[in-house]
Chains A and B, each alone.
Chain A
Amino acid sequence: MNDKLESYMKEYMGHPTFRTGQKEIINDILKGKSVLGILPTGSGKSLCYQLPARILDGVVVVVSPLISLMIDQVKQLKASGFKQVIAINSFLDYSQKHQAYQQIDKYKLIYASPEMLQNSQFMKQLSRLKVALFVIDEAHCISQWGHEFRPDYLKLDTVITKLKNPPVLALSATATPEVQKDIIFQLKCPSMNKHIYPMDRDNIAFVVQHVENENKKVALLKEVLQEFSIPTMIYFSSRKSAEQVAELLRIDLPNRNIAFYHGGMDQTDRILIQQQFMNEQLDIICCTSAFGMGINKKNVRLVVHFHLPTQIESFIQEVGRAGRDGESSVSLVLATPNEDVLPRRLIETELPAIEQVGLLVDYVIFLSQEKGITLIDEDDMQLRFQLSKTQWRFLKYHFENHGMIKESRILTKVYAEWKSVLKNVQRVISQRNELKLEKLSQLLDWLNSNKCRRIQLFAPFQYSVSPPKYMCCDRCDFSFTKWNPRLVESKNSSGNWVDELKLLLLQGDENEKQTS
Chain B
Amino acid sequence: MFSLIILECMIKLRAERSVTSIYHLIIGKRSSQTLQDVYLYKLTSYFGILKSLNRKEFDTHIEELVTEGLFSIDNDGLATISSKGRSYYERNQEDFQLKDFNGLNYDRISENFQLRMQLLIQTITNRKLNNSTFIAITDNKQVQQWVKQTYFIHRNQLEHLLSGLYNELLLFLNGLTDKEASLFVHRLTGYEKIGLSKNQLAIKYDMTKTDVELNLVLINHKLLNDLLQDNSTYNYLSIFLKGLNDTYFITDTAAQTYQLLIRGYSIDQISKNRRLKVSTIEDHVVEIAYIDDKFSIRPFLSEHEEKEIVVAVETVNSKRLKKIKTSLNDKYSYFQIRLVLAINR
| Chain A residues within 8 Å of B, Cβ to Cβ | 71, 75-76, 79-81, 96, 250, 259-260, 265-269, 271-273, 275-276, 279, 281, 493, 496-498, 500-507, 515
Residues of A within 8 Å of B133, CB to CB, are 79-81
Asked if A500 meets B139 with Cβ closer than 8 Å, knowing A273-B197, A276-B194, the reply is no
* Interface presence of B16 (CB below 8 A): no
* Interface presence of B121 (CB below 8 A): yes
Judge whether A497 and B185 touch: CB under 8 Å: yes
Q: How far is the CA of A79 from the CA of B199 in the complex (A)?
A: 27
Residues of B within 8 Å of A496, CB to CB, are 178, 182
Residues of A within 8 Å of B170, CB to CB, are 498, 501
Judge whether A497 and B173 touch: CB under 8 Å: yes
Residues of A within 8 Å of B87, CB to CB, are none
| Chain B residues within 8 Å of A, Cβ to Cβ | 52, 121, 125, 128-129, 132-139, 141, 159, 162-163, 165-166, 169-170, 173, 178, 181-182, 184-186, 188-200, 203
Which of A76, A497, A502, A505 sits near B125, CB closer than 8 Å?
A505
Judge whether A507 and B52 touch: CB under 8 Å: no
Judge whether A497 and B182 touch: CB under 8 Å: yes
Which of A81, A281, A501 sits near B166, CB closer than 8 Å?
A501
Judge whether A271 and B138 touch: CB under 8 Å: yes
Residues of B within 8 Å of A80, CB to CB, are 133
A427 nearest CB across to chain B (Å)? 38
Judge whether B185 and A500 touch: CB under 8 Å: yes
Residues of B within 8 Å of A501, CB to CB, are 166, 169-170, 173, 185, 188
Residues of A within 8 Å of B141, CB to CB, are 96
Judge whether A497 and B199 touch: CB under 8 Å: no
Residues of A within 8 Å of B189, CB to CB, are 272, 275
Which of B138, B159, B181, B195 sits near A515, CB closer than 8 Å?
B159
Known: A503-B190, A505-B166. 7 other contacts (CB 8 A): A75-B136, A268-B138, A275-B194, A501-B188, A503-B193, A505-B121, A506-B128
Judge whether A259 and B197 touch: CB under 8 Å: yes
A-B contact pairs, 5 of them (CB 8 A): A81-B132, A96-B141, A266-B52, A493-B186, A504-B190
A86 nearest CB across to chain B (Å)? 11
Judge whether B194 and A281 touch: CB under 8 Å: yes
A280 nearest CB across to chain B (Å)? 9
Q: How far is the CA of A500 from the CA of B178 in the complex (A)?
A: 13
Q: How far is the CA of A507 from the CA of B193 in the complex (A)?
A: 15
Judge whether B197 and A269 touch: CB under 8 Å: yes
Judge whether A504 and B197 touch: CB under 8 Å: no
Q: How far is the CA of A265 from the CA of B132 in the complex (A)?
A: 28
Which of A81, A265, A271 sits near B137, CB closer than 8 Å?
A271
Residues of B within 8 Å of A498, CB to CB, are 170
A250 nearest CB across to chain B (Å)? 7
Closest chain B residue to A264 by CB distance? B54
Residues of A within 8 Å of B128, CB to CB, are 506, 515
Residues of A within 8 Å of B191, CB to CB, are 506
Q: How far is the CA of A516 from the CA of B197 in the complex (A)?
A: 35
Closest chain B residue to A273 by CB distance? B197
Asked if A493 meets B198 with Cβ closer than 8 Å, knowing A71-B139, A505-B125, A505-B166, the reply is no
Q: How far is the CA of A275 from the CA of B165 in the complex (A)?
A: 24
Closest chain A residue to B162 by CB distance? A505
Q: How far is the CA of A498 from the CA of B137 in the complex (A)?
A: 23
Q: How far is the CA of A292 from the CA of B138 in the complex (A)?
A: 18
Q: How far is the CA of A413 from the CA of B128 in the complex (A)?
A: 68
Which of B166, B196, B200 sits near A507, CB closer than 8 Å?
B166
Closest chain A residue to B161 by CB distance? A505
Which of B125, B138, B173, B181 sits near A504, CB closer than 8 Å?
B125
Judge whether B139 and A271 touch: CB under 8 Å: yes
Top 6 A-B pairs ranked by shortest CB distance? A269-B197, A504-B190, A497-B185, A505-B166, A275-B194, A497-B182
Residues of A within 8 Å of B162, CB to CB, are 505-507
Which of A268, A273, A276, A504 sits near B188, CB closer than 8 Å?
A504
Judge whether B198 and A269 touch: CB under 8 Å: yes
Residues of B within 8 Å of A279, CB to CB, are 192-194
Residues of B within 8 Å of A505, CB to CB, are 121, 125, 162-163, 165-166, 169, 190
Residues of A within 8 Å of B125, CB to CB, are 504-506
Residues of B within 8 Å of A276, CB to CB, are 194
Judge whether A272 and B190 touch: CB under 8 Å: no
Residues of A within 8 Å of B182, CB to CB, are 496-497
Q: How far is the CA of A250 from the CA of B181 in the complex (A)?
A: 25
Judge whether A271 and B135 touch: CB under 8 Å: yes
Judge whether B194 and A272 touch: CB under 8 Å: yes
Asked if A272 meets B193 with Cβ closer than 8 Å, knowing A505-B121, A507-B166, A515-B128, the reply is no
Residues of A within 8 Å of B193, CB to CB, are 279, 281, 493, 503-504
Closest chain B residue to A498 by CB distance? B170
Judge whether B196 and A272 touch: CB under 8 Å: yes
Q: How far is the CA of A384 from the CA of B196 in the complex (A)?
A: 41
Residues of B within 8 Å of A500, CB to CB, are 185-186
Which of A76, A259, A503 sits near B199, CB closer than 8 Å?
A259
Q: How far is the CA of A80 from the CA of B133 in the complex (A)?
A: 6
A123 nearest CB across to chain B (Å)? 24
Question: In this complex, which of A80, A269, A493, A503 has the most chain B Cβ atoms within 10 angstroms of its Cβ?
Answer: A269
Closest chain B residue to A499 by CB distance? B185
Closest chain B residue to A279 by CB distance? B194
Q: How far is the CA of A267 from the CA of B139 in the complex (A)?
A: 8
Judge whether B169 and A497 touch: CB under 8 Å: no
Residues of B within 8 Å of A81, CB to CB, are 132-133
Closest chain B residue to A99 by CB distance? B141
